Chain A
Amino acid sequence: MDKRNEALIDLLYQCADDDLLVSFRGSEWLGLAPHIEADVAFSSITQNTMGHAVYFYRLLQELGEGDVDVLAHERPAVKRRNAVYLEKRNGDGQYDEDPYFDWALAVVRGYFYETYKRVKLISFTNSSYEPLATCAKRILPEQRYHLAYWEEWMKQLQQSSPTAKEKIRTRIEEAWSLSLDLVDFGQYEQTLLIEGYINDPNELKQQWLSELQSKVKDLPTRPLEQVKNGRNGEHTKDLDEALTTLSEVYRTDPVAQW
């Protein structure tokens, strides 16, 4: 495989795996949101986002990487390209037994992720890889609502009770320490740029940060950090647990029709 192709495939895995992990964490929240209206809205966002993961996995399937369900369920953690912040558990406890999930994490992560995703998708609309540009154009209209939804939550919680402000502030700090790899394009960045598959990553990062600065209070002034780089297949045990859960039934018989 030539380097161009390798780079492209790596990029598509980043996009697909990001959306898969975000929607997996969202699916764990189902039925547990602070009120029923939020539950229904969050679930719509989660379904759309999982749908986006499917689009990206399909592009990979077309490039000969294998069936979408194989790609979503069988790849080990070291092959996954999602950003580490996105695999982080929703809080403490298990979703079906003792879900001590933190809504502040859901809101901050939802807002940070969707803000970046929007910047990234807009840049993809002029990607030299036509199918990626088409895919971005398909996703963008509904993604607008996802961003608007989390933005509204951020706004409301940042101007309410001292508890809420503090919880949001803590989760922003945490996001800051974990999400540098979100704006990374991994080992093939140069090739991706030269081939015109992506726009300048530094520009995207700056666009993202200035978008956050214009909307969010208490943003840290230090540079973004990361503990591991998910774009290189470095992950935490949270991802291992997520993969075990999401493939539990699938693994009982990967070739069966389900």
Chain B
Amino acid sequence: MYHYLEHQKGSKTNEDPILYDNFMQRIENGDKIEANDWMPAEYRDTLIKLISMHGISEIMGALPEKEWVPKAPSLERKLAIMAKVQDEMGHGQLLLRVTEDLMKPYGRNRQHLMEDLLSGRLKFHNVFHMPTKTWADAGMVGWLVDGAAIISQTNMLDASYGPYQRALQRICKEEVFHAQHGESIIMALAEGTEDQRKILQDSLNRWWPSLLMFFGPASAETTGSSKQEITIKYNIRKSTNEELRQAFLDKYMPRVFSLGLTVPDETMHYDDVQEKWIYQQPDWNEFKLIIQNKGPRSKARLKVREIAYSNNSWVREALAVAGGDRP
């Protein structure tokens, strides 16, 4: 759910044409591909890239909200946000396992993914590079970031790769609770004091460009590459980035307005003729910088991850020595 169409070039396949045709036939029939089935390298590589980014984004995505876990303003909120962040770690775990199975032929595992993340080779989703400045941001992430994630993952609930599709089914169920959790924080602020409403509106203003960027650029021209949409060809996802963004706006703009909130874009409106939302494009150059780990909190969050990783290395070594099942 935490990825966008990357408009990348399809690698020329040197696959056996008969195997390949059979495979494509299965895709077209709506069969589910399993981990040990034959699959073209392009399919495997696309899935590895997609699911590892999704999984690592869940884990990096735990950090912005985690910043507010010890500070949450009541015991009930502390418990709820802790459970939510724990779920995200669980999603990461589930997805990294799916990726590990796909990477097996390449002799790579979870440790490699973590190292790729720390070295900057493996990217995480743009929203998680942003700061969470107030408690309202903790609510905003749950409400609209998880809300966007639900839209984006619903788009893949029928993905051709069985293990991913099943993981998404489970994740999706939990995401619904996350969005409710976020909405509950937002509602309390919206119905609260003047200051509470103020931090809420301020939060939406700051998160707005990131939310538009969430689904990725509309067309290839934006990012300067023009390639075929591999994930659609292989029936991993259905809709385009822009279709998803429109679905997001369809669902959330009425809710934003009904809470008496505004978005920082005066051009934003629904065009009845074109039947779509008209909005001001976010700064896609900034987007490119953000996903290259040059966002406002990219370095700080990677540093936290890196410290946790290196600081605990003695534990992983100790467990390897002990040799038993890890607790």
Note all chain B residues with C-beta closer than 8 A to A103: 312, 315
Interface pair B73/A27, CB less than 8 Å apart:
no
Number of chain A residues close to chain B: CB under 8 A: 58
Note all chain B residues with C-beta closer than 8 A to A246: 70-71, 78
Note all chain B residues with C-beta closer than 8 A to A245: 70-71
Q: Is A188 located at the chain interface by the 8 A CB criterion?
A: no
By secondary structure, the B interface counts as helix
Interface pair B66/A34, CB less than 8 Å apart:
no
Complex: chain A residue closest to B136, CB-CB: A249
Complex: chain A residue closest to B134, CB-CB: A249
Interface pair A40/B317, CB less than 8 Å apart:
no
Interface pair A161/B85, CB less than 8 Å apart:
no
Q: Which of A93-101, A197-205, A216-224 contacts B (4 or more CB under 8 A)?
A: A93-101
Contact of B75 among A68, A149, A161, A248 (CB under 8 A): A68
Interface pair B314/A50, CB less than 8 Å apart:
no
Contact of B92 among A28, A36, A157, A258 (CB under 8 A): A36
Interface pair A250/B73, CB less than 8 Å apart:
yes
Contact of B66 among A30, A44, A93 (CB under 8 A): A30
Note all chain A residues with C-beta closer than 8 A to B104: none
B63, B66, B300 — most chain A CB neighbours (10 Å): B66
Q: Complex formed: what's the CA distance from A46 to B193 in Å?
A: 31
Note all chain B residues with C-beta closer than 8 A to A73: 73-74
Interface pair B304/A99, CB less than 8 Å apart:
yes
- Knowing A31-B85, A36-B92 are in contact, say whether A163-B314 is a contact too (CB < 8 A): yes
Return B158 CB to nearest CB of chain A, in Å: 27
By size class, the interface of chain B is 35 or more
Q: Is A69 located at the chain interface by the 8 A CB criterion?
A: yes
Q: Is B59 located at the chain interface by the 8 A CB criterion?
A: yes
> Residues of A at under 8 Å CB distance from B?
24, 27-28, 30-41, 43-44, 46-47, 50-51, 53-54, 57, 68-69, 72-73, 93, 95-101, 103, 149, 152-153, 156-157, 159-161, 163-164, 167, 245-246, 248-250, 252-253, 256-258
> Residues of B at under 8 Å CB distance from A?
59, 62-63, 66-75, 77-79, 82-83, 85-86, 89-90, 92-93, 96, 135, 188, 191-193, 195-196, 300, 303-304, 307-308, 311-312, 314-319, 321-322, 324, 326-327
The 7 A-B residue pairs with the shortest CB-CB distance, nearest first, are: A164-B318, A258-B73, A34-B312, A34-B315, A160-B318, A160-B322, A43-B86
